[in-house]
C-alpha cells in the first residue's frame, strides 16, 4: 500500500475514532490484506467478464449464422412455392393483358380506318367538284 494512502488512513482513523495507529499496527496489516484481496478479486472478475463477453459474442455469431441460413432457406422456399403457385395466375393475367392490348389496337385500327375512309370520300368529292368545275369552265370557253 502506498505510504501517502496509509498516512491518510491513519489520520482518518485518528480523527473519526480518536485512536492513533502506527504503521506496524496489525489493524493496518488487515486493511492492506483486504485491499490486496479486493485488487485480486477485481482482476479475477475482469477476466471472468472478458471470458463471458467472448462466449456471448461467439454465441451471438453462431445464432446469427443459423438464423441467416434459416431465413435464406425460408425465402428460397417461399420464392420456389410462389413461382409454382403463381404461374397459372401470371399466365391468366398475361392473357388478359394481351387481350386488352389486342382490343385497344383493334379499336384504334377501326378508328383510323373510319377516318381514312372519310378522308378518301372527301378527296373523291373534291376531285368530282374539280372535274365538274373544269368541265363547266371548258364549256364556258367554247
Structure confidence at residue 83 (pLDDT): 57
Pick out the chain residues at pLDDT < 50: none
DSSP state of 18: -
Separation between Cα atoms, residue 42 and residue 49, nearest integer Å: 10
7 neighbors 14 (Cβ within 8 angstroms): no
6 neighbors 28 (Cβ within 8 angstroms): yes
Q: In this structure, what are the phi and psi dihedrals at residue 18, rounded to the nearest 5 degrees?
A: 75, 20
Unique residue bearing C-alpha cell 445464432: 63
Separation between Cα atoms, residue 99 and residue 127, nearest integer Å: 41
Structure confidence at residue 82 (pLDDT): 62
Task: Label residues 54-85 b or e (16+ Cβ within 10 Å = b).
Answer: eeeeeeeeeeeeeeeeeeeeeeeeeeeeeeee
Structure confidence at residue 2 (pLDDT): 75
Structure confidence at residue 100 (pLDDT): 82
* 3 state SS of 22: coil
Q: pTM for the complete prediction?
A: 0.43
Amino acid at each position: 500500500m502506498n505510504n501517502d494512502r496509509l498516512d491518510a488512513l491513519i489520520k482518518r482513523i485518528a480523527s473519526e475514532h480518536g485512536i492513533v495507529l502506527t504503521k506496524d499496527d496489525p489493524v493496518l496489516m488487515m486493511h492492506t490484506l483486504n485491499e490486496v484481496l479486493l485488487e485480486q478479486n477485481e482482476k479475477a472478475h475482469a477476466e471472468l467478464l472478458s471470458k463471458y463477453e467472448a462466449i456471448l459474442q461467439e454465441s451471438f455469431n453462431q445464432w446469427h449464422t443459423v438464423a441467416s441460413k434459416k431465413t435464406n432457406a425460408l425465402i428460397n422456399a417461399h420464392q420456389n412455392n410462389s413461382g409454382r403457385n403463381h404461374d397459372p395466375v401470371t399466365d391468366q393475367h398475361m392473357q388478359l393483358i394481351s387481350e386488352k392490348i389486342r382490343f385497344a389496337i383493334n379499336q384504334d385500327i377501326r378508328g383510323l380506318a373510319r377516318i381514312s375512309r372519310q378522308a378518301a370520300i372527301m378527296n373523291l368529292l373534291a376531285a368530282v367538284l374539280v372535274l365538274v368545275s373544269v368541265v363547266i369552265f371548258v364549256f364556258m370557253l367554247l
